[in-house]
Amino acid sequence: MRSFLAFLLGLLALVCTAVAVPTLWTERNLVDETGYVALSEPLGRDPAFKKILAQTVTESVVDDSGLSAKTRAAVRPVVLQGARSVVELDRFPAAWTESNRRTHQFWFGEPGRTPTRADRLVVDVSPLAALVADQLPAGVRSTVTVPRQALVVVGGSEERRAIQRLEVLDPWSYWIGAGAVLFAVGAVLLARRRSAAALWLGIGTLVVAAALKGAAVLGAPILAERASSASRLGARLEEALRETAEASFDRWLLVVAAIGLVLAVVGAVGRLVSARRERAPAG
């Protein structure tokens, strides 16, 4: 009975680990504002992304300026030049960080408390638009009224609701993670041979890490096919975020695999020591 309970707790520990790792990663890197800002930060150093970002900010500033079509066509090249210079400024990283903070607030805010356009999935480029305004010549600046709130639609209300559903992971992801640890400790304490329990838990953890990596590799193309953005910025944002997310998740899996390896090694060494002690009287 004791061995069966230890086996059951060990199995529950591995199941909880398989669930906790992706849910905790999602909560820490997408649902959490600071985590999302950190995840998005490398995009601000991507030349291809900055080029699309400059074009998108230009379109947002010019199209929302209320100018006639003729005037918009005249000022667009000047605004684009200003936007391209902005993404190379020393002040750009701080503006990009603030843009990501505001974007996250729109994604996980209540629709009734945000502008109508924010009921869809948007990226807030207001801090970048403000920088562009500072770079415009005086004559153009007096003609173009830069909006105080520049929102770029990158998805519909369905996509926004899908992202908001991720909030249910908090705080359940932490409870599941704590459960994995408690079940693992219980399995080792209940086992008749604790070293063997640690060994199999370690091997099981390595298998879980490999399975999660396989699921991530197989699932990424499926998510890419289902994702559909309303703008070039949204399409590039989705692609770039997938790349940074994969790299971040891989680092988490390396930690999980390292824990599994340590458990397996400790368990194997413990088994060898126990085996020698058992043979010692006979020798």
Greatest mean pLDDT range, 38-52, 149-163, 202-216: 202-216
pLDDT above 90 for 148: no
pLDDT above 70 for 196: yes
* pLDDT at residue 223, as a whole number: 67
List C-alpha distances in Å: 1 to 4, 6, 9.
Answer: 5, 9, 12
> For residues 96 and 113, which has the higher predicted lDDT (pLDDT)?
96
Q: Which residues contact 53 (CB under 8 A, 6 or more apart)?
A: 83, 87, 125, 128, 233
Rounded Cα–Cα distance for residues 147 and 125 (Å): 10
Mean pLDDT, the chain, integer: 86
> For residues 128 and 224, which has the higher predicted lDDT (pLDDT)?
128
* pTM reported for the whole predicted model: 0.84
Least confident of 65-69, 73-77, 206-210, 242-246: 65-69
Run of H or E residues at 124: strand 121-124
Confidence of residue 116 (pLDDT cuts 50, 70, 90): very low
* Percent residues over pLDDT 90 in the chain: 45
